[in-house]
Amino acid sequence: MWTLSGFVDEISDDFAEQCQVASGLGLRYVEVRSAWGTNILDLDDSQLATVRETLDGYGLKVSSIGSPIGKITIDDDFPPHLERMRHAVEVAETLEAPYIRIFSFFIPEGTDPDSRRDEVLTRMSALAEVAAGADVILAHENEKDIYGDIPRRCLDIVTSVSSPKLQLAWDPANFVQVGVRPFSEGYAMLRPHVVTIQIKDALLSDGTVVVAGAGDGEVPETVRALRADGFDGFFSLEPHLGEYTAFGALSGPELFTQSWKAFTDILTSEGIAYA
């Protein structure tokens, strides 16, 4: 039985509507990135309490905090960001989330990412150290334009930092958008470190995001391999089919549902049970 989740702020800015639609699709977990147009790390205590009450009201749990940690340039001041990481851990503990999604810093345009490796690894080690005393794991997402955008550098991050608190989130669309065929070129290399899967797909021709299975993200092949490997992590829907926002994309209930159906159709065709 595989466990589905989703970046529910793609449904609506209103958190109650996010939960209503997610619950209506049968999801038992959600990934919280923003509510009421505000990033999860910028919600005040009262808003976080409302988030928790709303989740409880719909019988939902949190799979991951969709944080923006690591989404600054490698040249930006780091100490304030490290403090933000500490707050992210507090938020994850408040919402009982086992994972916090993070990134590995934007590299200035025209700069060889490998030339900034040492600074990236120093910062990633510091982020992992913040999580060391908490019951949470940091899941690095392979976002385009950051250091860890391609499989080789994703592997470099987790093996060099070498902390059980730093693992990988697998995003096939993001790999496609940097010219990588995810399963063919990255799965065997990264699978030992992958703890959560983000569900979106894209076309190699122009990077357009499409529903799972309609692009070049090799989603069916990856699903089959994960089943054979006994993977038991979360599969988090991240449609990115609508208007782009500061947090990702506002797909709306209809396109979010379309994304859910495309992926669950793949699971059904492969004979995989999900909830």
Q: What predicted TM-score, i.e. pTM, was given to this entire model?
A: 0.96
Record the tokens describing residue 124, joined without a space.
């990633």
Per-residue confidence (pLDDT) for residue 243, from 0 to 100: 76
30: β partners:
62
- Each residue's pLDDT tens digit, 238-261: 999 987 776 677 889 999 999 999
Per-residue confidence (pLDDT) for residue 49, from 0 to 100: 98
Per-residue confidence (pLDDT) for residue 248, from 0 to 100: 72
- Each residue's pLDDT tens digit, 68-95: 999 999 999 999 999 999 999 999 999 9
Amino acid at 80: P
Cα(7)–Cα(5) distance, rounded to whole angstroms?
7
End-to-end CA distance of the chain: 7
Mean pLDDT score, 17-28:
98
Evaluate whether 65 touches 40 at the Cβ level (below 8 Å). yes
190 pLDDT band, cuts 50/70/90, is very high
Evaluate whether 213 touches 172 at the Cβ level (below 8 Å). no
Cα(39)–Cα(32) distance, rounded to whole angstroms?
9
Residues counted in the chain: 275
